Amino acid sequence: MAWAILFIAVFTEICWALSLKWAAMQATWQASSVPIILSFVNMGLLALAMRGIPAGTAYAIWTGLGAIGVIIGGVVLFGDKISPVQAMFMAVTVVGIVGMKLTAQG
């Protein structure tokens, strides 16, 4: 169950980070409230996941997948550009995350 919660937290992390850019583009108090609310949900889910997964493992997976998700989301939603070298390093990050998951205790 902790792993499922962690992956929900990763999704929330991606939404949170992308909502920061979206809120900056909207420049309204309603839009600014979205990242604030998502940050509370995000931290709560990560803390809950850490009850069953070592903190370092959970945090490494959360930040790694979150970063890759934000990069992909930025490309899709905001037209951000990535180079082939950046894509290669994203793939290396995925390999590290998979290794963390496969060797994790908990």
Q: Which residues contact 34 (CB under 8 A, 6 or more apart)?
A: 19, 22, 23
- Please name the residue that has the structure tokens 């792993």: 3
- Enumerate the H helices of 50-83 as residue ranges: 55-78
Can you give the pTM of this predicted structure?
0.88
Least confident of 36-45, 65-74, 95-104: 95-104
Q: What is the pLDDT of residue 104?
A: 80
